[in-house]
Amino acid sequence: MASLDQPAPSRSLIALGVAVVVIAAAGLATGGDSVLLGLAAVAGLGISGLARWAPRDPGGQFTRRGLLVLVAVLAAASLAMAYGWIGSANVSTAAWAWCAATAIALLGRFRSGWVLALAATSFALFAVEVGLLAYERWSEGVGVAPPTAESPATEPPAARVQAPAEKQPPSPQPERAGENTYTSTARYRTGDPVLGAKLVESVTTVTSKQLGNGEYVFRDVVYSTDDRGRRRSLGAAEDPRPDKHALFFGGSFTFGMGVADDATLPSQFETVSAGEYEAYNFGAGGYGTAQMYLQLGLDRLLDDIPQKSGIAVYSLIADHINRSTPHRLDRLVSFRKSPLFRLDAEGRLDGPFRMKDDPELSAAMEAFEAKRRASPLQRAVGGARAETYLPTDQALEVLAQLIVGAKARYDERFDGQFVVLLWPRMNRQRASWESLWQRLRDSGIAIVEVAELGDGAIIHESDGHPSAAEYRWVAQALYDFLHSNRTG
């Protein structure tokens, strides 16, 4: 037990300990490293206790040695906070907190106005940066997919559907994305030199997606693929086989993230057609316009389709502009291995290429990521949240040429109609995309516009992927459009 004549911690040191705890808690709330910030909190709680035994002069003020002890403890806590915040690009936030806490420590020795001003200013800047960071996380949604975004790396599951038993690849470990956890009983994605990634052939996997709070977005959903690496469509009887094909291209909205094999858009369309069409699902999470264009040039994906007449359907969502072109760097960072296209000096399609193969683009991405590692205050002033690399008009022209080129490739192989399906929520981008719609219509490509379903359109409030109900809605609208226009 300490002797009664030992000096009690000053008010400023108590405030210092509390401040470090608050700083650590704020770091935890905004995504910092929990272990290191926890250590910082413990250090903060211990500052007052350590100060009790720090050397003081007869007047109760800290000696130089005592002040060094306090600053050393404070520096250790601050370094832990700074290191914990590196992953969230908030080292400067921790630096402001360090300045503020140091100023409070100095108040224990020098009770002057400038020290008080330093403490107040530092804490004000710290509060602004934490507030901005919290707003960024809230507006973006940590681990929550935007309504039109698709995950390039991990995919969800589908209701239990019996599929042929196949030899499975080794089971992977759970994957984490933000606060979400994806689990699969078998790996169903792999790299591909042409498409960037592809589905594993002849695999069946049971997949779940769980939020950080333990709630499931979907659970025990089965995905199964055929021997060409396409997701199985289970919408109609195969005997007799329909005499028309329906080829579906796109990203995870086409793949059917989070729904059963028999609930995807291709399966639902096959069901709606009542045996008129046999559906083939070429979709995969993270795919865009570039993959569709390239898939239509791959014999390995197409040479088993017996029907020569039918339709090809490209399901377009707004984020596809960021998957096939270096349009927005903040989105391209998620598609580093995807095939990209651009325009050459004569305005013709140039590609595919990878981001790593373009020194200028790679340098721009490095500079952008350096900005993202800046403090929230610097980001707010410098606008590093969404930086455009390829202007929108050029990016839309790239998409137009890819779609027109995809139609030409389809026409070379099949006798049918190529249509672009605008996903219901694309209506919200009508004004900015109207030039693309007109360009496609001028090229003889039909545009299928579908009204929004409303309630029940997405699989979960935290995930914008379509529900089975929306897939049924879109499939019926597509079939009605085709028949009203006497196509395919």
pLDDT bucket at 33, cuts 50 / 70 / 90: very low
- Report the first-to-last Cα separation within the chain, whole angstroms: 90
pLDDT of 260 strictly over 60: yes
What pLDDT digit, counting tens, does each position of 434-475 carry?
Answer: 888 889 999 999 999 898 888 888 898 888 899 999 999 999
Across 371-399, average pLDDT: 72
Please say whether the beta carbons of 220 and 206 come within 8 A: yes
pTM (2 d.p.): 0.69
Does the 227-484 domain belong in CATH 3.40.50.1110? yes
pLDDT of 396 strictly over 70: yes
User: What's phi and psi for 27, nearest 5 deg?
Assistant: -65, -40
Give the Å distances, CA to CA, from 418 to 39, 253, 310. Answer: 60, 18, 9
What pLDDT digit, counting tens, does each position of 136-176 carry?
Answer: 656 554 333 333 334 443 333 333 233 333 333 334 444 54
Please say whether the beta carbons of 270 and 472 come within 8 A: no
Which has the higher per-residue pLDDT, 80 or 57?
A: 57
Tokens representing 179? Answer: 């606060």
What pLDDT digit, counting tens, does each position of 306-352 carry?
Answer: 999 999 999 998 889 989 999 988 888 888 889 999 999 999 999 89
pLDDT bucket at 31, cuts 50 / 70 / 90: very low
Q: Distance between CA atoms of 120 and 123, rounded to whole angstroms?
A: 5
Q: Distance between CA atoms of 467 and 475, rounded to whole angstroms?
A: 12
User: Residue 237, SS3?
Assistant: coil
Q: Distance between CA atoms of 308 and 222, rounded to whole angstroms?
A: 30
**Per-domain residue ranges for the chain?**
11-140, 227-484
pLDDT bucket at 228, cuts 50 / 70 / 90: very high
Please say whether the beta carbons of 208 and 216 come within 8 A: yes
Burial 242-265 (b: 16+ CB within 10 A, else e): bebbbbbbbbbbbbbbbbbbbbbb
Which has the higher per-residue pLDDT, 266 or 370?
A: 266
Predicted local confidence at residue 56, as pLDDT: 63
User: Residue 253, SS3?
Assistant: helix
Across 239-263, average pLDDT: 92
